[in-house]
Structure 1
Amino acid sequence: MRPHLDEVADDMMQEIQTRVREYDRPGDGSYSSTLRQAVERVLHYFVDRVGDPDHEPGPVTDFFRAIGRGEAGEGRSLDAMQTAMRVGGMIAWRRIAAGAAHLEVEARVLGAVGEALIAFQDELATAAAEGFAQAKAAVAGEMQRRRKRLLDLLFADPPAAPEAIADLAAAAQWPVPRTVAAVALGQPHDGAHRPAFPPDILADPTRRTPSLIVPDPDGPGRARLIDRALGGSLAVVGPTVPLGEAARSIQWARKTLHLVRRGVIAADGGVVRSVEHMSTLILFQDEDLITSLAALRLEPLSHLRVSQQDRLAETLLAWLQSGRNANEVAMRLHVHPQTVRYRLRQLEELFGDQLLEPDVRFDLEIVLRARALLAGQPGEHLIPAVKPAVGDTADVVDLHQRN
């Protein structure tokens, strides 16, 4: 074979450039020279392999690994290279078959050469695919690092400069939106169970509180997309804000998630949206303040038993929420109106003229709402336990309830 390698290389070059458009660059001499070098290198190593089956094709496979990396770096697929390899193999086999017939080579020998040709092509294709995958993984890893840095920049407080955000967004190939919503996920995900998000969503599931940024969350169909992407996991979506205020959105999402974990806000197995719980978030924005206000406004209940406190607090909240209508309170609490009127008389005796003051009623509704939200949550002491009863009389409310 060796005396004919230059002729075979000429045939291969002509056929490859005719059949594979990507390799036909008549005005690019350096590219043609590189292609010629690749063809000659493959031919020589193949002949070496035929002459010595134990010959190691390390350098040429490394060469094709580099070709694979180069194709990935240029943003191309391996289709053109694989087509060129098939065309080159076809030309090689055609010349081998013709030479074998001229030399009257035994079929067994010709078969062994054909098998070696197929195996060699497979090795080169595998090497190119490995290089391609390595380069793609490196690019994807770098892109993911850039997107994580962009997420850090958007969550920075105080906000980063718009120019810095725009530059990093361009490097991360993330189109800059007008508005965003941040998302706090309830639990980290390992690599095997990490959910897949659409490419326009910035995600960092490795944070202590895994976080996302969703662009244009109020656009058509975006709410359904968010629910579908986050389905099956505890997720809190912060309010929609301008891009420069993403830190505010993630802060509210994290606060909401904290209250969900405490049982103050119900998750009900779906996506939670902070904007649907703003009054609760305001209530729990400063728990020291709400605790102090509760101690002040609920002091008239402090001498009662806990069961009495609960019944009267529940009745007072319902009364405040229903426009001070006893019949509506009875319907809300599923008790007899007479029972409600009895409790209201007790409340009037305990609170006196305070219930006539609009500001006091407002304060009472605030602390009673907070108290109700924490009802049944073990270990919660936002509304402090009032002093135990001392020498109090039996509560007759149960008698009215039975009636």
Structure 2
Amino acid sequence: MARNPFTPTFGVSPPLLVGRSDLLDDFVAALEDGPGAPGRMTLYTGARGTGKTVMLNEVEDLARRQGWRVISETATEGLVNRLVREHLPALLSEIDPDGSETKVTGVSAPMGLGGAAWATSEAHEVAPALRTQLTAACDLLAGNGAGLLLTLDEIHHQVVPELREVATVLQHLVREEREIAFVGAGLPSAVSAVLNDDVLTFLRRADRHSLGPVALPEVATAITEPIEHADRRIAPELAARAAEATGGYPFLIQLIGYHIWRQQPRHRDVSGDDVEAGIVAARRRLGSLVHEPALADLPGVARTFLLAMAHDDGPSKMSDIASRLNVDANYASQYRLRLIASELIEPVGHGWVDFTMPYLRDYLREHVALDAQRELPPGDASSNVVERD
């Protein structure tokens, strides 16, 4: 029996990536076009499950095929320390093993907390200074016709001080026309909060791409080809049905494909019952994997706004939402803008909004009961917000 080809795990690249070829082509062109190409500084944003980390995986692979070296990190506390004490010394030693000998001569605090004294010799200096090390790495790689790609996942405002340092150094390297590229990824609200920092204006000029749904014909291909490569078959109309159920949502492509495969893995032909059962199983798992974490990040009133939308079977009228929340139109509009920025809802005409995430309406109806009042300060204007059955 062949192994299930689908990979419904966050950050794991799917067997066939679809719907992102234009963005990936732009990145490769930027590497080939040389310093100053706009695509060398890129940010990917999108809701959970839209494939941000997968895009980082892909650009890293593409850069390596071009002969570039890659440093892959997550924007968490200690980022700069990890770069200057782990990634960059290792990279410099690898690309120029005979150029210097770097060793720790003394430690006044535990490693990772600062306090290490560094000694270097010969061709280049490897010191705990981000700009020094990145410049040295770029110069060495440029001599071999390559460059350095730094990727940062989960960009968040909680590490703004470290992101400032990274962005400042990147700005200098770009101005000096070094062979450097940067690609970051994060939730829309988190990236927007970072870009609003007065010091991080450099990153505002990066190419910014919002990862949305994938076209359904491409989704059908992403379901059909892995099944066929594993020596099973799925009829075109069944693949189309599975694609329709994903709503073009990238993570759901893998989740539905995975559960369709699991129904009767020893049968060569995927049946209509397999597809329907797989869709049901995937929808059930989507709630705990995606919807629940997405709602957990929201303030109570924003979640109640979504509950008010869930009363409708299709797009919701803003005046109806305000009435259900017992607030005025201006107050409702504030949360409308916040939820649009989070890419959980989208405008679908003047005065109308709808959910962007597949099955979120169903999840809200079936699982969520929130008390928005408990998160509001006394006397807040939103204290009029109530939930209605």
Shorter chain as normaliser: what TM range? under 0.3
Normalized per residue, which structure has more strand? Answer: 2
Q: What TM-score do the two structures reach when normalised by structure 2?
A: 0.23
Question: Larger RCO: Structure 1 or Structure 2 (Cα < 8 Å, ≥ 6 residues apart)?
Answer: 2
**Larger Cα-atom Rg:** 1
- Quick check: which one's helix share is greater? 1
